[in-house]
Amino acid sequence: MVAEPLAGRREVVVTDSHNSQEWAKVVGRLVEEWYADADRITLVEDNLSAHRKAALYEVYEPRLARAILHKLEFVYIPKHGSWLNIAEIELIILTRQGLTQRVASRVEFERQVAA
């Protein structure tokens, strides 16, 4: 889940797992596609173990991984912070508005998420 609430933007990426390589692919899309014209991107995220900068080097060639990292400013939410996580709110909205029941296939799940 990538959310930019002030711009009214939400990107949902469906993956088979939540590992560091999948995280790196989403971050790569964030920098290279969704915000390609940005000079600097502030990425606010939690301290999940899958959020490893080194994973960018596992997915992309070193020069591209460095270029992606150079555009990013990482801000981590406090481990025991009591404020609500914007991405969590977006996921709750997604499940309440569109995913009200169990989905039989990944294709159907992606269709519902896109809707």
The residues spanned by each domain of the chain are 2-114
pLDDT at 60: 97
Please give the angle made by the CA atoms of 45, 32 and 24, to the nearest 5 degrees: 45
Q: Is 55 exposed, middle or buried (0-12, 13-18, 19+ CB in 10 A)?
A: buried
Q: Which CATH class is domain 2-114?
A: alpha beta
Q: What is the pTM of this model?
A: 0.78
Per-residue pLDDT tens digits of the chain, which is 115 residues long: 788 888 888 888 888 888 999 999 999 999 999 999 999 999 988 878 888 999 999 999 999 999 999 999 998 887 766 555 777 777 787 777 767 677 777 787 777 777 7
Q: What is the DSSP string of 26-64?
A: HHHHIIIIITTT-S-EEEEE---TT--THHHHHHS-HHH
